[in-house]
Each structure stands twice: as structure tokens, then as C-alpha cells.
Structure 1
């Protein structure tokens, strides 16, 4: 069986491929992904990589219970509306005039201390990052700005979905991080999934300047990518999903149940490191 057919056979039943014009834009579902799988994702010959049940359902339930004591806030509502509830700082909210505002570092320190109180010595983030190191077979560490490590491991709760948008550090924050990136992934480990809705939709389409004619706040009208291949991923509890966040992507609204994920970005540097941030 050739590689493309083998990978297609591994796609989970609850992954829907829409307008499958490109046979390489697919979702690989695999218990132990290899470095080559992330390389394919960076190269655009995969839409997403999923590790089923990366965290056990029991561990996810324990984490949700522990998070009930944590104080959540939202992204800056001047930038992202409707509000998205989260725990931990988003560097996106603190970018100003070519640098990161000083308040970011205070928020990051508080969040690290609170997270340690929540999870104790059994930190699920350590499990996820350890697996990422095994996959990458090279350095995996927090991204830095001015030599200071950024916060990694935001918890997000989305109920109203997220408008189609993209995330690309080198375009949004040029020259701010201490790293030059050649690829960027979004990572989510789902600790709770809704009964209906909440699917991740990834389009085989990146931003171009003419798209801004159809910009709506922090996102874009989906007609921009209406004719492009796309995949729709509905994860189960404990699944981890990587996708190229430079591609347009959206999240469908929930109609029943909660959607919570442990989330961060992964950047591939010119030194072949993976750096992480939220």
C-alpha cells in the first residue's frame, strides 16, 4: 500500500474530508506519530495530525474538576469577540509597538504558579511535551522574547465557535521573538468535547492581501476559502491535534456540551528546534 493510501486508512471515522480535491490534504490519526509526519504537516502534504486518547478520559475529568477552582479570563474583547474564555495569558493580547507589554510577564508568572497548584506533580502538560520531544527527536523548549520564556499551556473554552482566521507569528509579530520560524503548528489536547458542534475546520488556503476586502474583525468571511479543499475534525476526549495554523481555520459553534482544550503553538526554527508558546 502506498504512503498516501496507508495514511488515509488511518483517518478516524469522525474526521470528515470536504471537497477532497487534493489527496494529500488529509488527517493522519496515529497512536505514535513520527517526525516525518510533522515534517509532512509543515510541508503542506497533511492537513492535521491526531493522537487519539493522548490523555486518558480519567485524567481529563480530573483536570476539569481541578480547573473549577481557577480564575478564567477572556482574550482582549477589543480584538476577539464574541469572548473566548481562557486560563493563562495569550501573547497576542500583549503585543504593542514591536514588543511585548510588561504586564504579560506578571500574568505569565501568576498563571504558572496557579497551574502548579491545580495539577500538582502530575502535570498533563509534561506528558504532552514529552511526547512531542519523542516525535521531534530534537530540542523542544518554550519560545523566548529577550531571553525570557513565554507561557505555554493555555486552557481555552469555546462555545460560540471561532470565525475563520489564521495564526502566523512571523507575519503578526515580525522581529519580536528571539527565533526565526520556518513553520508553525497549532496544538490542542481536548479535555472536554461538546456532544454536538465544536469541530475544527482547516482550509488548504493561506492569507493573501486581497483577502482583507472580506475581513470581519479578527477573522475573515468564509467565502474567501469557500472553493478550497478543507477537512473537518471532531475530536474525542483526550485527543491531541496538530494543524498548520498558517492555514485558514475555524471552529464550529457548540450546540450542546463544553469544549475545553489545553492549547499552545509550536514553531519550527531555522536551527531545527521546536519552540512553544500560547
Structure 2
């Protein structure tokens, strides 16, 4: 029987829409995750799946990821140069190619654009892309995670400590919306536990061994078709393997800036 003291605020909030209070609470760390069921309709999900078949979907390096994960669209943390900065030439080339492929797919309605519009309405201001030297970053990667994902965290200010963006990011959130879900499995797990320097002794490929989250409070969040999820990715999180079927989501990060605006990137 567990005797751990639980944080009563680290819970799942559900609602018909996202609100500015939801976003602020996640940024402040006073809630665990926010989910909106049926954020996308089944018809929109089906249309997205059909258009996805035209996209040049690749895979991450399975040795680095610990599993086969399919993806479309560049993510900034895949383009770090050996010295710690951005490999700009590779990143901007990949960004241009992804935008061209997205346009050719004719995905209508666009699930990423629709998601950003609704999140902007919640916040009370339009959400624009994070920029690097005035250039808009890519936002809205597609990921198919059927074999699970290792325990890890995402924090752009640690990945690029020399201030990558033109904007100053004070809090980072992760957004996912599912257009295909497995019959069982594929849960997102989020722990009330942030990275500590001593965790580096427990590295496993790009992530960490389970020891780092043992005994810590967690949320287990099964994917449902059309559902959207927001959480704070500076908490350790992982994805459980699927029993059968395909777990496909569109994803991007939101950053709360020092001026109170929201920007996005992948």
C-alpha cells in the first residue's frame, strides 16, 4: 500500500473547450493535464488519415529512439549541431520541404491550423510561430507511435540554452490531437517529476530508465479518437506500446513568452 503524499492539483481536467485558465494552470504547474474529448470530429480525422498517405513519412533512428516511430515534419531537437546550437542549413531545408509536401497533400480541413485557431480563441489572441532570426519555425509534426516511447522530457530552453528563439520562453506546453487510435494501449504517461542533473546517470538512448520516476505521482491518459491533450512536457512523460492498431497524432509545442503571448513550434 502506497504511503506517498499526493499533490491534489496534479490531476486531469476535462472540458468541452480549452480555456485561458487551463493554459495558465499548466504553465504554472497547478494542474497535471487538460483533455478536450472530440476536439476533432470523426470526419476530420478520417480526412486527415487519407491525406497522410500522400505525405513523405519517415522514421526516427530506432537505435536512438529505442523503438520504431514514424514521423513527418522537422522537430527542432533533431537538428542540434555538435556545439549545441542549431544546424540551421539542415533545419531550414527540411522545413521548406515539409511545408511544400503539406501543401501538396491538400489536407482540408487542416487539423493543425484548426487546433491553433481554437487554442488562440481560448487564450484571447492569435498564436503565431516561434521565430529564429525572423524566420518562422515549423509547427505540427505527425507522429505514429505504436511501439511506445521512452521516458523523457522536452524543454527547449535546456536543449538550446543560448536562446534559440527571438521570443523569450517562460513556460512550455505540449499539444497532441489523435486522428487514429489503437484498440488498447498507447497511453500517455505523465509524472509529477522534472529533470535533475543526477538523472543523467540513468540515460537510456534519448530518454531515461524507469528509476527516475519510481514512486512519483503519475497520470495515465489513454488516447481516444479526436481527443486533444495539453500537458507540461518538462515533466517526465512516456508512451505505452499499443496492443494493436495505429496511434497517430499531430503534435506541437506551445511557448508562453515573457510578453504574455503564445507561440508554437515542433
Counterpart in the other structure of 1:144: 131
Once structures 1 and 2 are overlaid, which stretch shifts more, 171-180 or 259-268? 171-180
Counterpart in the other structure of 1:255: 243
Residue 245 (structure 1) aligned with residue 216 (structure 2): no
Counterpart in the other structure of 2:57: 72
Task: State the secondary structure of the residue aligned to 2:65.
Answer: coil
Counterpart in the other structure of 1:87: 72
Alpha-carbon displacement from aligned partner over 1:148-191 (angstroms, at most 9, x marks no partner)? 11111111001110010000000111122222211101110001
> For the residues of structure 2 that align with 1:274 and 1:20, how far apart are their CA atoms?
33
> For the residues of structure 2 that align with 1:76 and 1:271, how far apart are their CA atoms?
37
Question: Could you tell me which of 82, 86, 99 is aligned with 1:99?
Answer: 86
> For the residues of structure 1 that align with 2:108 and 2:48, how far apart are their CA atoms?
13
> For the residues of structure 2 that align with 1:105 and 1:26, how far apart are their CA atoms?
38
Counterpart in the other structure of 1:117: 104
- Spell out structure 1 runs of 4+ moving beyond 4 A: none
- Structural RMSD (CA): 1.5
The gaps in structure 2 that reach 5 residues or longer are none
Report the CA distance shift for 1:50/1:20 in structure 2 as closer, same or farther (over 3 A): farther
The answer to whether the 8 A contact 1:187-1:265 is kept is yes
> For the residues of structure 2 that align with 1:177 and 1:100, how far apart are their CA atoms?
14
Aligned length: 260
> For the residues of structure 2 that align with 1:65 and 1:20, how far apart are their CA atoms?
47
> For the residues of structure 2 that align with 1:225 and 1:154, how far apart are their CA atoms?
27
Task: State the secondary structure of the residue aligned to 1:170.
Answer: helix
Cα deviation, residue 99, structure 1: 2.5
Cα deviation, residue 241, structure 1: 0.2
Task: State the secondary structure of the residue aligned to 2:100.
Answer: helix
Report the CA distance shift for 1:121/1:62 in structure 2 as closer, same or farther (over 3 A): closer
Task: State the secondary structure of the residue aligned to 1:62.
Answer: helix
Counterpart in the other structure of 2:122: 135
> For the residues of structure 1 that align with 2:80 and 2:125, how far apart are their CA atoms?
29
Under a length normalisation based on structure 1, what TM-score does the superposition of the two structures give?
0.89
The gaps in structure 1 that reach 5 residues or longer are 1-18
Alpha-carbon displacement from aligned partner over 1:28-87 (angstroms, at most 9, x marks no partner)? 111122101111111111111111111101110111112112211123556423232101
Under a length normalisation based on structure 2, what TM-score does the superposition of the two structures give?
0.93
Counterpart in the other structure of 1:157: 144
Task: State the secondary structure of the residue aligned to 1:95.
Answer: coil
Question: Could you tell me which of 18, 21, 24 is aligned with 1:39?
Answer: 24
> For the residues of structure 1 that align with 2:99 and 2:221, how far apart are their CA atoms?
30
Alpha-carbon displacement from aligned partner over 1:118-157 (angstroms, at most 9, x marks no partner)? 2355322221111010111134110111111111111100
Question: Could you tell me which of 19, 29, 32 is aligned with 2:14?
Answer: 29
The answer to whether the 8 A contact 2:47-2:108 is kept is no
Counterpart in the other structure of 1:170: 157
Counterpart in the other structure of 1:207: 195
Report the CA distance shift for 1:204/1:20 in structure 2 as closer, same or farther (over 3 A): same
